Amino acid sequence: MTATGTRYLARVCLWGLLLSLAVVVVYPLLWMVLNGFKTNAELFANPFALPHQWGLGNFAAAWDRGVSSYLATSVFVTIVSTLSTALLSAWAAYGLTRLRVPLEGPLTAVVLAGLMLAPTVALIPLVQLFQRLGLYNSVWALVILYTAFRIPFTTFLIRAYMVEIPREIDEAASIDGAGPGYTFWRIVLPLCKPIMASVVILHVLFAWNEYLFAMIFTSGAGTQTLPVGLTNLMARHGTDYPVVFAGMAIAALPMVLLFFGGQRWFIRGLADGVGK
């Protein structure tokens, strides 16, 4: 086989692999959305067929059965925890890379050691702590937990990006009279837009889909997020599965739009940061 034939065969195999991966990822989402338009009888008769009638009745039913409340809670928890995690992690990364901090090495090791802490290990003491603080069964419990457990990872990503920014920029700002706060907000942070976008997308995906903390630390329609709330749509007897699929489609839509909308920034941030 010639060199041209080998390259052509390798390209065909690569495109075949990518197409197979796309089918594996897209088909379950498409199947879920299509089943949201069916009735229970249609679903059990042939779950892989197209709906006989197209209507938004199941989506309206899911919305009225609590998905609207769960969606609002998920949006609040996700936005607040994303902002707090991104800003605190950026501050920590800035201090560890741009400032002269006593015991910088041990502090960096302590922050990164948080990556090895499994959330399940701390569940019992955390429940007792939040009960004593009066934060148990509140959205603020989830905000604090999501922020605390994601700061080590996001700090690691931002720090890897900030290390590559020349220190001469800070020195020039200092000569012009800029303090650390001004340098961080007006100079360093804008240069970190790609990695910050990656951090935001990763945290939004985590907070939106997190189930364990949301199940243990909240109860009731006013505090439960979408992953936990969707389980309430399933009854012990006579579950209306198309309504459940409709609710799942509503929950998945914002994340799909977010990822495809921020895909360019997400890939650029990870490639320029961790890839260096």
Note the pLDDT of residue 3. Answer: 66
Note the pLDDT of residue 177. Answer: 83
Using CA atoms, how far apart are residues 209 and 92, in angstroms rounded to an integer?
26
Instruction: Please give the DSSP secondary-structure letter assigned to residue 1.
Output: -
Note the pLDDT of residue 237. Answer: 44
Note the pLDDT of residue 73. Answer: 94
- The whole-angstrom distance between residue 140's C-alpha and the CA centroid of its chain comes to 18
Q: Break the chain down into helix, strand, coil percent, rounded to 5.
A: 80, 0, 20
- Give CATH for domain 54-273: 1.10.3720.10
Note the pLDDT of residue 59. Answer: 92
Note the pLDDT of residue 49. Answer: 86
Query: What is the number of other CB atoms lying within 10 angstroms of the CB of residue 229?
Result: 25
Note the pLDDT of residue 275. Answer: 45
* Ranges of each domain in the chain: 1-35, 54-273
Name 52's Cβ contacts closer than 8 Å, sequence gap at least 6: 38, 42
In order along the chain (276 residues), what is the average pLDDT of each group of 10 residues? 74 87 85 90 86 88 90 94 95 83 70 73 89 92 93 89 85 82 87 89 92 89 87 70 91 85 68 52
Q: How far is CA 156 from CA 92, 94, 149, 231, in A?
A: 10, 11, 13, 34
Note the pLDDT of residue 232. Answer: 81
Using CA atoms, how far apart are residues 22 and 18, in angstroms rounded to an integer?
6
Phi-psi region of 134 (alpha: psi -120 to 50; beta: other; left: phi over 0): left
Alpha-helical runs (H) found in 176-224: 180-183, 189-191, 193-209, 212-217
Structure tokens at 74: 């998920």
pTM of the model: 0.84
Note the pLDDT of residue 266. Answer: 65
Instruction: Please give the DSSP secondary-structure letter assigned to residue 188.
Output: I
Name 249's Cβ contacts closer than 8 Å, sequence gap at least 6: 32, 33, 36, 59
